[in-house]
Amino acid sequence: MEKKISCGEIWCGIHGNDIHVTTSGIEASLFSSACDGGKGGDIYYFSVCDSDLLSRIAIADVMGHGKAVAETSQWMCDSLKDKMNNVQGNEVLADLNAAAVDYGYKALTTAAAIGWYREQKKLFFSYAGHPPVFARRTGDDHWWRLELPKSNHAANLPLGVGREFSFEQSAITLASGDALFFYTDGLLEAEDAQGQPFGNQQLPAVLNAHGTDPQIVKESVLSALGAFTGGGQWSHDDVTFMAIRIR
């Protein structure tokens, strides 16, 4: 299925999905599966500002999984819609963190958020205890992790841990054809028949074996995960990932 996101539109979900999304600045291919079907604890978010200059994308993972946490993840999804108006991605996470602290322990959530400024060709990224996004430039033969600089104080922890923690933002310049890959830890923790996780070794190897076409990357990861787990159905956790390419 394909979806076009227009200027001023926000799209956010917590249910299983397999979809290709386009904006004026990016194209993204998303796969999301709740461990017991339907809605779960993984959240995906896309928006384009009214002036068509900024595309925002976020992925989040509420503590727990499946239908048991769907109410909390829906609250977090709605909060993302309310808080994403802030220009700075790290301030978006700070606002979400304050709301999560007020909500309570059930709202503990990891998140990765990016802002793509189409005219400046700048990508801004921030994390809240979430695995770092992978990136790949056109012509490169490998992906690498977009890491934040080392902080001298406690920062970038999961949402809801405490009010006193800050969130940082970094930026890189990207060009047309460059790519990104988001994922929740359910992808890394999927196990084979021997109980071994898909992990941090398998994923980069799969990504490096393919280019930057979002649909090909998504299908390749999905195929590799199915082969690794012996079927493609995962009961251990919700699994969400998306491949993105700059237009």
Report d(CA 100, CA 79) in Å as an integer: 9
Q: What is the pLDDT of residues 129-150, one digit of tens each?
A: 999 999 999 989 899 999 998 8
Nearest to 204 by CA among 220, 226, 191: 220
Homologous superfamily in CATH for domain 2-186+237-246: PPM-type phosphatase domain (3.60.40.10)
Helix (H/G/I), strand (E/B), else coil: 198: coil
Given this model, what pLDDT does residue 200 score?
75
Report d(CA 170, CA 167) in Å as an integer: 10
In the chain, where are the structural domains located?
2-186+237-246
Q: What is the pLDDT of residues 202-212, one digit of tens each?
A: 899 999 998 89
CB-based burial, 154-168: b 16+ in 10 Å, e otherwise: eebbbbbbeeebebb
Structure tokens at 242: 């998306």
Model's pTM, two decimal places?
0.92
pLDDT at 85 over 70: no
Given this model, what pLDDT does residue 3 score?
86
Instruction: Tell me the pairing of strands 170-173 and 39-48.
Output: unpaired
Specify which of 6-20, 133-147, 233-247 reaches the highest per-range mean pLDDT. Answer: 133-147
Given this model, what pLDDT does residue 190 score?
87
